[in-house]
Amino acid sequence: MKKVILILALFTATIMQAQEVKQSQIHVSGEGKIKVIPDEAIIRVAVENSGKVAADVKKKNDEAIDKVLKTIKENGIQAKDFKTEYVNLSNTYDYETKKHNYNAIQTISIHLKDLKKYENLMMDLMNAGVNQIQGVSFMSSKIKEHEKQARKNALLDAKQKALDYVEVLEHQKLGKVLSINDNSNRYYPEAMMSSFKSVAADGGAPMRETLAIGEIEISSTVAVIFILE
């Protein structure tokens, strides 16, 4: 008896599914975009030194890194918001001079949660021994909220398109949603910078950075299938 009931249930479900597939459908896409001003940044800086003696090169780099880490803390950056990303001590051989050359580099990533501190932090880092800025990525502390709103806007856009089409069709109205395919993207404005010196070439005041943070564009694109009733 149980087998009969199961077979009937499967048969009924198959029929209903077949009927649903045969129903008229409308496929539309929707897009939602939000642009926001960044209020945070990920800063990647590095200290790099080279020389003929490995121990001396490493010591020089380690001393500079020690000053850099102390400088970061003095700027009010919490320990959880900065970390070492890369450390390397390499050896190259010059076949013309028959001599070895050693290169030490350490990269630090800083999560800056207050962009008002950017200028002072960068100047302090330069004076502490940082000689490379490998990149600055700007972000928003409310990115999840903005992504949520972008998705809503995309779905509303898709629904409005479907309604626009249905308006010109006779004896048709918009039914339930069969599927939603979502693809959200975000764009982080990034300032890429190369090596620089801590102090101006003429021995004057430290170089100053200019900051143009731009906007973060958060977009959501959805593909929606509606039933036409």
Both tokens assigned to 131: 């000689």
Q: Give, in degrees to the nearest 5, the angle at Cα 36 between 125 and 160.
A: 160
Q: How far apart are CA 217 and CA 186, in angstroms?
A: 6
Domain spans of the chain? 23-38+141-193+210-229, 40-139
Confidence of residue 10 (pLDDT cuts 50, 70, 90): low
CATH architecture of 40-139: 2-Layer Sandwich (3.30)
Choose between 68 and 211: higher pLDDT.
68
Assigned CATH topology for domain 23-38+141-193+210-229: Translation Initiation Factor IF3 (3.30.110)
Residue 63 has pLDDT above 60, yes or no: yes
Per-residue buried b or exposed e for 22-57, using 16+ beta carbons within 10 Å of the residue's own CB:
eeeebebebebebebebbbbbbbbbbbbebeebeeb
Q: Which residues of 126-150 are buried (b: 16+ CB within 10 A; e: fewer)?
A: bebbbbbbbebbbbbeebeebbeeb
Take residue 97 and report the two structure tokens written for it: 């001079």
Contact 198, 126 (CB under 8 A): yes
Mean pLDDT across the stretch 61-83?
96
pLDDT exceeds cutoff 80 at 61: yes
- pLDDT category at 192 given cuts 50, 70, 90 is very low
